[in-house]
Amino acid sequence: MTTDARRPPPRRLYGAWGRRELQGLFWQVLVVGIALAVIGFLWSNTVTNLSARRITTGFAFLGREAGMPIADSLLAYNPRDTYLWAFVVGVGNTLRVAVIGIVLATVLGTLIGISRLSANWLLSRLAAVYVETLRDIPLLLQLLFWYVLMQALPAARAAWRPIEGVFLSNRGLILPAIPIGPLQFWVLGAAVLGAAVFYLVRRRLIAQQMRDGKPRPAWPVALGLIIVPPAAVSLVLGVPWTIEWPQLRGFNFVGGLTLAPEYFALLIALVTYTSAFIAEIVRSGIQSVPRGQWDAANALGLRRSFMLRQIILPQALRVIVPPMTSQYLNLTKNSSLAVAIGYQDVVSIANTTLNQTGQAIEAIALIMAVFLTISLSISFFMNWYNARIALVER
Amino acid sequence: MTVIVDIPDAPRRARRPQIGNPVLRWLRANLFSSVPNGILSIVLLAILAKGVFSFVQWGVANAVWLTPANDSSACRAVRGVGACWAIIPEKYRFILFGTYPFDEQWRPALSVLLFIALFYLSSRRALWRRELVYLWIGVLALISVLMWGGVLGLSFVSQDRWGGLPVTLILATFGLAFGFPLGILVALGRRSKLPAIRSLSVLYVELIRGVPLVSLLFMASVMFPLFMPSGFNIDKLLRAQIAIILFAGAYLAEVIRGGLQAVPRGQYEAADALGLSYWRKNRLIILPQAIRHVIPPLVNTFIAFFKDTSLVLIIGIFDLLTTAKTAIIDPAWQQFSVEVYIFVAAIYFVFCFAMSRYSRGLEGASRR
């Protein structure tokens, strides 16, 4: 009441509108006008240029035969497929690098971040050197470096064999593989179902613990639900679990899983580079947990693993998750450097399309659409996770 | 002799008794504090020793440091067992300055020194005054004169002959010099109460940050000619520079927005109470505080951005990384790319490490 009385009466200098509103309108009209004028200018030039070069706009070209070779892809492809399918194959390749890269970079980065805090002087120094070196050299240079090293590896005949069945040569990394067919998918499906049931069971166990305070270990249930159903399905259907060992035939390898040098170099570069940034995020996250929390947990006589899992990590994660999200986005965007060593991700394929068809605007629009979709999905997932672990103040 | 008597009631400082050899004591505390720690230390030491040993063998003991001009036979002889550092004296002028006319290369060299001096002066807190802006304008103009020539008796060197380190520094510095004001405007726009301006700023930032820089560079190199009226042609370097400025603007805007959010409300209210206009309020009161808040993250953005300029390799601009990659196309020296990459990595590392040390120092200073 009193605050309302003290507020000055609204100024009415220019009729019904205050000066502020009029100024605001003026600036908005000016900025939007300039933006529209620039866009209009560029647009009309583009339309003129495109018609001069006889390029029709629109996405009709996606149905045409691509004719470009794609050497290494997750999805089956041959040059007679359409541009649309080539794009999809490119998206598959981008996701193949990004998803595996994110998982590996998180694991490696967390290990190095923890190492930096180790009481062992040598370990923490080495981790610090790793972080500083990798962060201060451009990723593209590191990528070229790894690629050169890949090419300098011995030829297939003289391949290195660190472990039986694993070959490292200038053809890339070759690993033993388990061929995945429709039968194996049923087994995977059973495992996923088991995990889903476990999630529900765990929720009940936690709710029960909240009621009577008795801890109920969840891991036996987890083990049972994730191992038993797939094993049962596997036995009932008689799924063959043969391991396919790669073999050298002539100048190349047959069988097994091949990580082409381009893919392998890109993966190493992205994982090591990003892990240096993740290490710093993990370190600062752990350091942000107040000393008193460690002391309190120690005073309660908690086991170290329990303390880390239940006291330190939940608090550190609140600091870690938001910057981690942007690292994941960076890794995904950086996978586009693939074009420099000839791994065909979505950007590289879009660029080839652009050169072949001249459909510049459409190709760039597709790249933007793909990356905006990926970014939004990652942000969405991480925001959901962040909200779950966020501090609940009562 | 006076004896200082230990007062029995005084609380003793919790200090370990200092016995034994200090080196041994340090080793015990830092490397062998427990059995697992000791095992870890020994394993790490063994790995480190092996790594250092093989690097010294390859990089120093078996390395070739100098060869007669244009003769890589000595290097070929040690291929696989020793490094060929001889490629550096052979190619360093090409790597550093690209195809800039050989006799005129003192000009890009001087430009690089001017850039370094400019960065050094800008890092001194005591010099953060209005005059610094004029210094920037002056030095950047001087560098343009040096690189282009055509006046003061300097011969004209067209842009397509520039290359190497000066190009990297030009892309980064001009990107910064123009991206920074752009970033400030966009950051203010994003916090503006005017819906049209706010949504335009959000759109700009999210679009640029949502896509990889590579695709922006492709856009600059392929689509730019389409955007312009026919007959209007701008240089490839300038096109890449524009893409980099737009890219930097979006990222810097987000950092500066963080700073703007950290300025307490009272400062805005006080400025309003003084009756300052929007621009004077921001220029005199808000922005100086906001930028001061975010100097360490700003320096980190500069580092990221300095490294990212190397991506112009993909559209064929002769920056430092591209000259390095081109230097090893020469068939005689083709096999020695690792050495060249290490040399160039060292140059990048020196610049970025200096910046990151500086940022760390600033963080320490602001915490005190």
Instruction: For chain B, give the mean pLDDT.
Output: 85
Query: Do the chains contact at A31 and B200, CB–CB below 8 Å?
Result: yes
Q: Which residue has tokens 């030095």?
A: B139
Query: Do the chains contact at B215 and A347, CB–CB below 8 Å?
Result: yes
B127: Cβ contacts below 8 Å, ≥ 6 apart = B121
B174 and B245 in contact (C-beta within 8 Å)? yes
- Give contacts of A45 with chain B, Cβ < 8 Å: 226-230
Q: Using a CB–CB cutoff of 8 Å, tell me whether A128 touches chain B.
A: no
Q: Which of A112, A136, A356, A371 to mutate to test the interface with B (most CBs of B within 10 A)?
A: A136
* Least confident window among A234-238, A386-390, B3-7, B73-77: B3-7
Has residue A1 got a pLDDT over 70?
A: no
Helices (H) and strands (E) in chain A, counts: 13, 5
Q: Which of A148, A151, A304 to mutate to test the interface with B (most CBs of B within 10 A)?
A: A148
B258 and B190 in contact (C-beta within 8 Å)? no
Query: Do the chains contact at B311 and A337, CB–CB below 8 Å?
Result: yes
* Least confident window among A10-14, A220-224, A266-270, A319-323: A10-14
Residue A174, class by beta-carbon neighbours within 10 Å (0-12 exposed, 13-18 middle, 19+ buried)? buried
Give the separation between CA A239 and CA A378, rounded to whole angstroms.
Answer: 35
Distance from the A254 Cα atom to the nearest Cα atom in chain B, whole angstroms: 29
Q: Which pLDDT does position B182 carry in this prediction? A: 95
Distance from the A390 Cα atom to the nearest Cα atom in chain B, whole angstroms: 21
Rounded to a whole number of angstroms, the CA Rg of chain B reads: 27
What average pLDDT score do residues B297-313 get? Answer: 91
With bands split at pLDDT 50, 70 and 90, how would you rate the model's confidence at B122? confident
Has residue A58 got a pLDDT over 60?
A: yes
Among B211, B229, B228, B243, CA closest to B315: B243
Give the separation between CA A360 and CA A363, rounded to whole angstroms.
Answer: 5
Give the separation between CA A173 and CA A84, rounded to whole angstroms.
Answer: 30
Q: Which of A14-28, A79-93, A228-242, B58-72 has the highest mean pLDDT?
A: A79-93
Q: How many CB atoms lie within 10 A of CB A369?
A: 12
Q: Using a CB–CB cutoff of 8 Å, tell me whether A339 touches chain B.
A: yes
Q: Which pLDDT does position A222 carry in this prediction? A: 80
Give the separation between CA B261 and CA A299, rounded to whole angstroms.
Answer: 39
Distance from the A270 Cα atom to the nearest Cα atom in chain B, whole angstroms: 14
Helix (H, G, I), strand (E, B) or coil at A392: coil
Q: Using a CB–CB cutoff of 8 Å, tell me whether A349 touches chain B.
A: no
- Give contacts of A125 with chain B, Cβ < 8 Å: none
Distance from the B227 Cα atom to the nearest Cα atom in chain A, whole angstroms: 5
C-alpha B228 chain-centroid distance:
32
Has residue A266 got a pLDDT over 90?
A: yes
Q: Which pLDDT does position B367 carry in this prediction? A: 56
Query: Do the chains contact at B227 and A350, CB–CB below 8 Å?
Result: no
Give the separation between CA B119 and CA B287, rounded to whole angstroms.
Answer: 21
Q: Considering only residues B315 and B233, tell me which one the structure prediction assigns the higher pLDDT.
A: B315
**ipTM of this predicted complex?**
0.88
Q: Which pLDDT does position B7 carry in this prediction? A: 44
Query: Do the chains contact at A364 and B308, CB–CB below 8 Å?
Result: no
Has residue B209 got a pLDDT over 90?
A: no
Q: Which pLDDT does position A165 carry in this prediction? A: 78
Helix (H, G, I), strand (E, B) or coil at B84: strand
Has residue B5 got a pLDDT over 50?
A: no
With bands split at pLDDT 50, 70 and 90, how would you rate the model's confidence at B17? low
What average pLDDT score do residues B285-306 get? Answer: 88
Reading the block at residue B243, the tokens are 């893409």
Give the separation between CA B352 and CA B342, rounded to whole angstroms.
Answer: 15
DSSP E strand stretches across chain A: 167-169, 172-175, 247-249, 252-254, 257-259
Distance from the A45 Cα atom to the nearest Cα atom in chain B, whole angstroms: 5
Give the separation between CA B368 and CA B364, rounded to whole angstroms.
Answer: 6
A274 and A131 in contact (C-beta within 8 Å)? no
Distance from the A172 Cα atom to the nearest Cα atom in chain B, whole angstroms: 19
C-alpha A371 chain-centroid distance:
11
With bands split at pLDDT 50, 70 and 90, how would you rate the model's confidence at A360? confident
- Give contacts of B325 with chain A, Cβ < 8 Å: 144
Give the separation between CA A111 and CA A113, rounded to whole angstroms.
Answer: 6
Q: Which pLDDT does position A26 carry in this prediction? A: 86
A172-175 sheet: strands from edge to edge: A167-169, A172-175, A257-259
What is the pairing mode between strands A257-259 and A167-169? unpaired
Residue A150 sits at the vertex; the CA angle it makes with B70 and B48, to the nearest 5 degrees, is 95
B354: Cβ contacts below 8 Å, ≥ 6 apart = none
Rounded to a whole number of angstroms, the CA Rg of chain A reads: 28
Query: Do the chains contact at B338 and A148, CB–CB below 8 Å?
Result: yes
Q: Which of B58, B218, B319 to mutate to test the interface with A (most CBs of A within 10 A)?
A: B218
Q: Which residue of A has its CA nearest to B340?
A: A145
What average pLDDT score do residues B224-232 get? Answer: 79
Distance from the B315 Cα atom to the nearest Cα atom in chain A, whole angstroms: 10
Condensed to tens digits (0 to 9), the pLDDT of residues A22-57 reads 878 888 899 889 999 998 988 888 888 888 877 777
Give the separation between CA A349 and CA A68, rounded to whole angstroms.
Answer: 9
What interhelical angle do A360-389 and A346-357 show, nearest 10?
A: 160
- CA A173, A330, A279, B337 dihedral sign is positive
Q: Which residue of B has its CA nearest to A153?
A: B80
A122 and A131 in contact (C-beta within 8 Å)? no
Enter the DSSP assignment of A63.
G
Query: Do the chains contact at B31 and A122, CB–CB below 8 Å?
Result: yes
C-alpha A278 chain-centroid distance:
13
Give the separation between CA B211 and CA B250, rounded to whole angstroms.
Answer: 12
Reading the block at residue B149, the tokens are 């020539």
With bands split at pLDDT 50, 70 and 90, how would you rate the model's confidence at A145? very high
Q: Which pLDDT does position B345 carry in this prediction? A: 95
A96 and A245 in contact (C-beta within 8 Å)? no
Give the separation between CA A49 and CA B353, rounded to whole angstroms.
Answer: 46
Q: Which of A121, A372, A375, A376 to mutate to test the interface with B (most CBs of B within 10 A)?
A: A121
Has residue B14 got a pLDDT over 70?
A: no
Q: Which pLDDT does position A7 carry in this prediction? A: 59
Q: Using a CB–CB cutoff of 8 Å, tell me whether A193 touches chain B.
A: no
Q: Amino acid identity of A106? A: T
Percent of chain B with pLDDT over 90: 31
Using CB atoms, which residue from A120, A138, A142 is nearest to B31? A120
Q: Which pLDDT does position A36 carry in this prediction? A: 92
Q: Amino acid identity of A108? A: L
* Least confident window among A38-47, A372-381, B18-27, B124-133: B18-27
- Give contacts of B220 with chain A, Cβ < 8 Å: none
Has residue A377 got a pLDDT over 70?
A: yes
Has residue B2 got a pLDDT over 50?
A: no
Reading the block at residue A45, the tokens are 């030039």
Using CB atoms, which residue from B45, B195, B352 is nearest to A136? B352
Condensed to tens digits (0 to 9), the pLDDT of residues A384-394 reads 888 887 766 65
B117: Cβ contacts below 8 Å, ≥ 6 apart = B139
Q: Which pLDDT does position A307 carry in this prediction? A: 85
Q: Which of B198, B215, B233 to mutate to test the interface with A (most CBs of A within 10 A)?
A: B215
Distance from the B229 Cα atom to the nearest Cα atom in chain A, whole angstroms: 5
- Give contacts of B344 with chain A, Cβ < 8 Å: 141
Q: Using a CB–CB cutoff of 8 Å, tell me whether A340 touches chain B.
A: yes
Condensed to tens digits (0 to 9), the pLDDT of residues A4-25 reads 555 555 555 445 556 677 878 8
Q: Which pLDDT does position A393 carry in this prediction? A: 63
- Give contacts of B39 with chain A, Cβ < 8 Å: none
- Give contacts of B210 with chain A, Cβ < 8 Å: 368, 371-372, 375
Helix (H, G, I), strand (E, B) or coil at A322: helix
Residue B120, φ and ψ in degrees, nearest 5: -60, -45
Residue A303, class by beta-carbon neighbours within 10 Å (0-12 exposed, 13-18 middle, 19+ buried)? exposed
Condensed to tens digits (0 to 9), the pLDDT of residues A170-212 reads 888 888 887 777 777 888 888 888 888 888 888 888 888 888 8
Give the separation between CA A47 and CA A23, rounded to whole angstroms.
Answer: 36
Q: Which residue of B has its CA nearest to A146?
A: B338
Give the separation between CA A66 and CA A357, rounded to whole angstroms.
Answer: 10
Distance from the B7 Cα atom to the nearest Cα atom in chain A, whole angstroms: 32
